[in-house]
Amino acid sequence: MTHPRPVVVISRCIDFDSCRYNGAVIRASLREKLEPLVELRPICPELEIGLGVPRDPVNLVRAGGVRMVQPATGRDLTTRMRSFADHFLESLEAVDGFILKSRSPSCGVGDAKVFDSEAADAGHRPGAGLFAAQVLERFPDVAVTDEARLADEAVCRTFLDQVFAHAAKRLEKATQLSSGPHSHH
């Protein structure tokens, strides 16, 4: 049986590009480790919605739902980010896992700072970044993690097991569909 090559969407700032708000690239050595095993699809939601590098940081604020704002410019980027996430996730033909940037207001899986208000001294609680929240909602059965957690070898192994299991299921389903009794060629 051919083993499927799982598709993993990864934050572009992890081992790929200097696209963080401060122009940094995060060296997590995941690219070297994973590229032989899976197809990595790098994406940076903040670049995709037109923010440059370097850029003024964006914050998440609880205001009748979570909003993404850029304090330095006063811009509210919520609609733009939600719309990008929708279109991008909708366009994925296949995906078996996500590795997102920890603590990012776009990609944090559960550790992004969500501020209680736009006040400079506002308190914050952890939550999901705007892009990550849509990933989690749309792909409940797909493994989603961040580069910080994958630094732990056991966590990384478990993540890869889940990714390969999902890819195998996806391939099996596709094979059944194309060779099933009701296939119309």
Q: Is residue 146 part of a domain?
A: yes
pLDDT exceeds 70 at position 56: yes
pLDDT at 55: 92
Contact 180, 20 (CB under 8 A): no
> Of 15-29, 66-80, 150-164, which range is least confident?
15-29
Q: Is residue 24 part of a domain?
A: yes
Q: Is residue 171 part of a domain?
A: yes
Cα distances (Å, whole numbers) of residue 167 to 59, 65, 87, 145, 174: 34, 34, 22, 17, 10
Q: Is residue 97 part of a domain?
A: yes
pLDDT at 178: 83
pLDDT at 20: 92
Provide the domain limits for residue 161. 7-55+76-110+128-175
**CA quadruple 184, 170, 137, 61: dihedral sign:** negative
* pLDDT band of 63, cuts 50, 70, 90: confident
**Pick from 122, 32, 104, 16: which is nearest to 68 by CA?**
104
Q: Is residue 68 part of a domain?
A: no
pLDDT at 4: 67
Q: Is residue 123 part of a domain?
A: no
For the chain, the straight-line distance linking the first and the last C-alpha, in angstroms and rounded, comes to 23
Q: How many distinct structural domains can be found in the chain? A: 1
Note the pLDDT tens digit of each residue in 155-174.
Answer: 999 999 999 999 999 999 88
Q: Please, what's the largest Cα pairwise distance for the chain?
A: 63
Contact 68, 46 (CB under 8 A): no
pTM value is 0.93
Percent residues over pLDDT 70 in the chain: 95
Q: Is residue 50 part of a domain?
A: yes
pLDDT at 174: 86
**CA quadruple 139, 105, 45, 153: dihedral sign:** negative
Q: Is residue 183 part of a domain?
A: no
